[in-house]
Amino acid sequence: MHDVIGKKPAPDGLLQVKAQDPGATLYYVGDGIDDARSARAAGVPFIGIAAPADPLYLDLVFMFQEERATAIVDDINFLNEVFAS
């Protein structure tokens, strides 16, 4: 965060990570729309976490879909299932 000029939703941080290991497979896991926008701008697949208890749950789900999330889960503990598929 402190090593880049552009903060989220700018893709600067993710682009820096990609440059450090160009052959690596990256995923961005986040719980906010700025996370999703940053991932999309960097060309990194995004996995959204939208907890049903969050008052903005449905808004988050729809926004993550608009940002072309690879997956949306309601609990971070379900990431194993996302990566297994």
- Phi, psi dihedrals of residue 53, rounded to the nearest 5°: -75, -15
pLDDT in tens, the chain (85 residues): 678 788 888 999 999 999 999 999 999 999 999 999 999 999 999 999 999 999 999 999 999 999 999 999 999 999 999 888 7
Structural element, H or E, at residue 72: strand 71-73
Q: Does residue 1 fall inside a structural domain?
A: no
Residue 11 is predicted with a pLDDT of: 94
Within a domain: 26:
yes
Report the predicted TM-score, pTM, of the whole model to 2 decimal places.
0.90
> For residue 63, what are the domain limits?
12-84
Angle between helices 12-20 and 33-42 (to 10 degrees): 50
- CATH number at 40 reads 3.40.50.1100
Number of domains in the chain: 1
The pLDDT of residue 72 is 96
